[in-house]
Amino acid sequence: MKFLDGIKVIDFTAAIAGTLGTMTLGDLGADVIKIEPPRGEHYRTAMDGAILLAHNRNKRGVALDLRTKEGQEVALSIASKADVLTENFVPGTIDRLGLSYERVREVNPSIVYCSVSGFGQEGPYSKRASYDPVAQAMAGIMIATGEPEGKPCRQVTSLIDVTASLYATIAVLACLREREKTGKGRRIDVSLLDTALAAMNYFITWNSFTGKVPTRIGSGAAGWAPYQAFDTKDGPVWVGVSVDRFWWDFCKGLELDDLAADERFATDQGRREHREEVVTKVAEICMQYTSQELEAKLIQAGVPCARLATVAEVGENPQVQFRGILEDSDYATKGRIRTVRAPTMIDGNLPETRIPTPLLGQHTVEVLKEHGYSDDKIQELLSKGIAVQYGA
């Protein structure tokens, strides 16, 4: 997939927020150059390197010391020939590294300059450090996540980071489309807090005219019942009875004539009003089956459901296998690894992994040569430690 062939992206991101977005551009054909400090980004070792491996395919790796004037000049030279620059430093940091929007725009007026941060580039919180769970906490997500009698929980995966990356990608693509007509670059500002609030949008709207706030309800949801995970003889199954049709299908599929005849549960409103009773009854029924038996019966009845799988089990899912979304490959420092391909199937195909996640500074010499640096100058930068090449 070379939809973005000819587009050059300079990637100063680390961790997840923003990094997934630049990988997405790379998956779609852009030439993404990831610039890291000489010792590598701070997430190179997080989760044994898994976060780095999961978010940096289809990028070339360059290592530069941006704390030095020479390193900044090299980075600015690369940025002068780029279409997109993406960074996710705490606001103000990239300015101190000599790569502010204003300075980059001076050498490249058509640059699409994208910043992803915790709180945005301006405002009372802008200089605060942040991570995904901070945004979850501030936006009302964490307080409403978990079991009713338990403590608040963060989402296990960094969905706010991921979503912010995708919003950034959408904005970059829109700005590139506009630039085709105008030749004008743009400044993009995406924040984790804004993204988390966007994820809570219907709860915020609901609160505005009812005064209600979402509460912890485990695997369920306030709008429907029974709509949660239920235990069986050997493992939990998530059951999604939302509209009344699914209730009748649920009762018919499990031959629950008495339950179907109970007028209290005949409508979604009635089931919500009698949530404790209906959930208790359904829980007792589910314990009569194994997870496989219950799932099979509910699938046959047309009721949304799924056995709860671990990440070790997802590769056994026939639909996952059919889609080919998981990819196994060999990696220089890890051996056999499994990654998730971009979930964007176009004309029956998923994007290919053209370049595995780069080793630290793997393409430094290659990229510097492309940007006009002589062999002698490159060797000077390497000998000073301003630039780093893997294996050099």
Which residues are the active-site residues?
161
Candidates 177, 195, 209, 97; CA nearest to 141 is: 195
Give CA separation, 138 vs 157, 193, 212, 361, in Å: 17, 7, 17, 37
Residue 214 C-alpha from the chain's centroid: 24
Backbone torsions φ then ψ of 163, nearest 5 degrees: -65, -40
Question: Residues 354, 359, 362, 363: is their CA dihedral positive or negative?
Answer: positive
- Residue 387 has, within 13 A of its CA and on its CB side, a CA count of 26
**What DSSP line would sit under 218-272, residue for residue?**
TT-BTTBSSEEEE--SSS-EEEE--SHHHHHHHHHHTT-HHHHH-GGGSSHHHHH
- Residue by residue, DSSP assigns 13-44 as --SSTTHHHHHHHHHTT-EEEEEE-TT--TTS
Output the six-digit token pair for 1. 């997939």
H helix and E strand count, the chain: 17, 12
What does the alpha-carbon distance between residue 26 and residue 357 come to, in Å, rounded to a whole number? 11
Cα(22)–Cα(339) distance, integer angstroms: 16
Burial per residue of 340-369, b for 16 or more beta-carbon CB atoms within 10 angstroms, e otherwise:
ebbeeeeeeebbebebbbbbbbbbbbebbe
* Sign of the torsion formed by the C-alpha atoms of 207, 119, 107 and 14: negative
Closest CA to 54 of 63, 43, 62, 64: 43
The gap from C-alpha 381 to its chain's centroid, in whole angstroms, comes to: 35
User: Which of 20, 49, 17, 11 lies closest to 344 in space, CA to CA?
Assistant: 20
